[in-house]
Structure 1
Amino acid sequence: MLDRMGVLIALLIERPVSLYAAAVLRIGYGLLYLVFLLREFPHRDEIWGPGSPWTPALARQLFDQTEWFSILTLSDSRAYFEACYAAAVVTSALFMLGWRTRAVSVLFAVVVASFHARAVFMTDGGDNLFLLMAVYLVFTASGRRWSLDARRKASPAADGGRHRSRFREFGRTATTVLHNCGMFVIAAQVCFLYGSAGLYKVQGGSWGNGTALHYVLNLDLFRPWPALSLLLDAHPVAIAIAGYLTVLLQVAFPFVLFGRLKYPVLIMLVSLHLGIAVLLGLPIFSGVMIVADAVFLPDRFYRSLAHLWPRTFQPAGFRKRQAPTRGDSALVPTQPGPGGSVRPPVEAVSRPPAR
């Protein structure tokens, strides 16, 4: 028991886990929110601005009851709103690119929370998960891979000014602990979401008799392609099987994460979300869920993607400097071994040399 506790503690504090997955979350959510803001640019005033039917005064009255907060309600000026909207677009782009990620991630969380609270009656489950993920990513080291920060820190000029101190080592250890806890919370949130959604569907009679998707396909509000929806609805057996499979995938998801079944289940879930995006006209919701699923893919998968087209992800010179993969080991303080000898970090020992 004590040995297992020691392994868990070592995993928590010695090295950051899933750095590439965190980078995918950062890029995915930053890009999604940027696309969302640009898509709604013509309608920004009706949704969040002073001209919205849900006026800033009404929003402030609701905040007095719910204790929410939004920077958009600090002023009723149109110029102030336009400045906030432009700042939100810039923040989303910088967060996606990973520029000064630690500070920009806080701004990104404030932006998402502010826009979510300003038009809270126009949101759906995707917006709620988006808000949670934006807050969780504040605590992760999402800028350590595939970012402008990683490119800057890998340059020779950045390496020359580094120095070791106890305070610096403590800061790195604290960053590692926060990152690992943040990634665990993100994974737990996704598991809880799928599990609760599946169990909720089990209680419904329409999901039990296989007619739930039939009713969904016949809702005009969620029928961007009526002909396609009617075509699929003409096959009731296939619709019933798809409904049962949806419930099974969601309920089983938390129990297959530690086996090889995880990968086919993830593929089927991604296919499910793509179907929701096309058939129900909910691309942002589907995108939020697909990006959240990326947290369960190991870093070796993302590294293999980078090797498939390295020139797309990294210039040749930058890749050579990063070949020893010092990013992970830099987060782990060098620890003394028996007899006072210096033991290299865990990541440096476990990772094979770059070819």
Structure 2
Amino acid sequence: MLDRVPALLALLVERPVSLYAVAVLRIGYGLLYLVFLLREFPHRDEIWGPGSPWTPVLARQLFDQTGWASVLTLSDSRAYFEVCYALAVATSALFMLGWHTRVVSVLFAVVVASFHARAILMTDGGDNLILLMAVYLVFTACGRRWSLDARRAGLRAAAGRDPHGLPGTTGGLRHHLRDARLPVVNVLHNCGVFVIAAQVCFLYGSAGLYKVQGGTWGNGTALHYALNLHLFQPWPVLSRAVDSHAVLITAACYLTVLLQVAFPFVLFGRLKYPVLGLLLTMHMGIAVLMGLPLFSAAMIVADAVFLPDRFYRSLTRVWRRGARPTGTGAAAPPPGAEAGLVPAQSRPAG
């Protein structure tokens, strides 16, 4: 056991893991929050603005008790709120695109935390998960793949310049500082990925164990009651049609509990792939049948952290082959070209 410690330390310090996976999380949660803010744009004042029944004064009184904070309560001015909302939309879009991700990831976390705290009585499990992931992604190098940062660094490398924005011949203190920075970035990134994976495992495991304690899940009737709640009936006809199959409902109850309890124990084998596929189906069913698209999408994006980078690289190759015009005879890129296009995440312009 002890002989594996040096290898684990080397993995933690020398090489960032799951770069494509955290890029998917960045794109997914940035897009989700952007769509969420645009979707609620007509109702923004009633939810988060000065015209909300949960006034800024009440919110600040609650913050004094809970320790939360929000930039939206710094002023009661409507103009200030509109500026904050516009900046939140822009921040979500820039985070999704991966533009100066180091700085924008912090701003995105502040945006999510501020909007979450301002209307905390209206949040659900999906909002809580997005908030946690926004904070965790601050510590990851989520802009190294599929981002504007990666594209800009690739162009610099192709032009013979340092991908970090430093001249190629620079030495001395700046060179040593950059070399010393890389292990710290790798450690923070790898620890962030581990915390994200552990969070998802804890979420599934605790949800499954909680269901086991309930009698309705034990006798297979929990989904029957859920499908007959008016609050979770966006399509009443569809809900009644699904609920009419008693055997299907019972099997879905047992399968849901089994998947959630077993999920943390199947991550280190090939069994995780069919389990992730079944969880994807489950979340899509929740989105359609119960009208919880934000929660389901947040869970689906979180599950993407467990797919290896070779899976995402294969998707990239398939995309490039599909986008390449037929009959052009374009040559394949030389070995190492892909790595040159996605070097380490660049620093924001000073």
**How far, CA to CA, are the matches of 2:81 and 2:6 in structure 1?**
52
1:308 maps onto 2:318 in alignment: yes
The residue type paired with residue 289 of structure 2 is: L
Q: 1:215 aligns with which of 225, 236, 239?
A: 225
**How far, CA to CA, are the matches of 1:320 and 1:223 in structure 2?**
54
CA contact (8 A) 2:145 2:342 kept: no
1:99 maps onto 2:99 in alignment: yes
Greater length-normalized contact order (CA 8 Å, ≥ 6 residues apart): 2
**How far, CA to CA, are the matches of 1:324 and 1:279 in structure 2?**
42
CA contact (8 A) 1:154 1:321 kept: no
CA contact (8 A) 1:152 1:158 kept: no
Q: What's 1:10 paired with?
A: 10
The residue type paired with residue 46 of structure 1 is: E
CA contact (8 A) 2:221 2:250 kept: yes
CA contact (8 A) 2:154 2:342 kept: no
Q: What's 2:339 paired with?
A: 325
CA contact (8 A) 2:234 2:291 kept: yes
**How far, CA to CA, are the matches of 1:271 and 1:305 in structure 2?**
20
Q: What are the equivalent positions in structure 2 for 1:179-328 lying under 5 Å apart?
A: 179-310=189-320, 323-326=337-340
Distance 1:88 1:205, change over 3 A: same
CA contact (8 A) 1:13 1:176 kept: yes
Q: What's 1:115 paired with?
A: 115
Please state how far the C-alpha of 1:197 moved relative to its aligned partner.
0.2
Please state whether the residue corresponding to 1:154 is helix, strand or coil: helix
Deviation digits for residues 23-46 of structure 1 (CA, Å, limit 9, x no counterpart)? 000000000000000000011111
Give ranges in structure 1 of 5+ residues lacking alignment: 332-355
Please state how far the C-alpha of 1:2 moved relative to its aligned partner.
3.0
CA contact (8 A) 2:224 2:249 kept: yes
**How far, CA to CA, are the matches of 2:260 and 2:238 in structure 1?**
25
Please state whether the residue corresponding to 1:187 is helix, strand or coil: helix
Please state how far the C-alpha of 1:174 moved relative to its aligned partner.
0.5
Q: What's 2:161 paired with?
A: 159
Q: What's 1:26 paired with?
A: 26
CA contact (8 A) 2:105 2:137 kept: yes
The residue type paired with residue 77 of structure 2 is: S
The residue type paired with residue 107 of structure 1 is: L
Q: What's 1:339 paired with?
A: none
**How far, CA to CA, are the matches of 2:115 and 2:334 in structure 1?**
42
The residue type paired with residue 191 of structure 1 is: C
Q: What's 1:47 paired with?
A: 47
Please state how far the C-alpha of 1:326 moved relative to its aligned partner.
4.0
**Percent of aligned pairs with the same residue?**
74
Please state how far the C-alpha of 1:166 moved relative to its aligned partner.
2.0
Q: TM-score, normalised by structure 2?
A: 0.90
**How far, CA to CA, are the matches of 1:328 and 1:101 in structure 2?**
14
Distance 1:231 1:130, change over 3 A: same
Q: Tell me the C-alpha RMSD between the 2 structures.
A: 2.2
Give ranges in structure 2 of 5+ residues lacking alignment: 325-329, 346-350
Q: TM-score, normalised by structure 1?
A: 0.89
**How far, CA to CA, are the matches of 1:157 and 1:72 in structure 2?**
44
CA contact (8 A) 1:15 1:329 kept: no
**How far, CA to CA, are the matches of 2:344 and 2:57 in structure 1?**
50
The residue type paired with residue 21 of structure 1 is: A
Q: What's 2:66 paired with?
A: 66
The residue type paired with residue 337 of structure 2 is: A
Q: What are the equivalent positions in structure 2 for 1:68-83 lying under 5 Å apart?
A: 68-83=68-83
Q: What's 2:348 paired with?
A: none
| Range with bigger deviation, 319-328 or 1-10 | 319-328
Distance 1:330 1:277, change over 3 A: closer
Please state whether the residue corresponding to 2:17 is helix, strand or coil: coil
Q: What's 2:132 paired with?
A: 132
Q: What's 1:172 paired with?
A: 182
Deviation digits for residues 30-78 of structure 1 (CA, Å, limit 9, x no counterpart)? 0000000000001111100111110000000000000100000000111
The residue type paired with residue 323 of structure 1 is: A
Distance 1:151 1:312, change over 3 A: farther
**How far, CA to CA, are the matches of 1:234 and 1:188 in structure 2?**
37
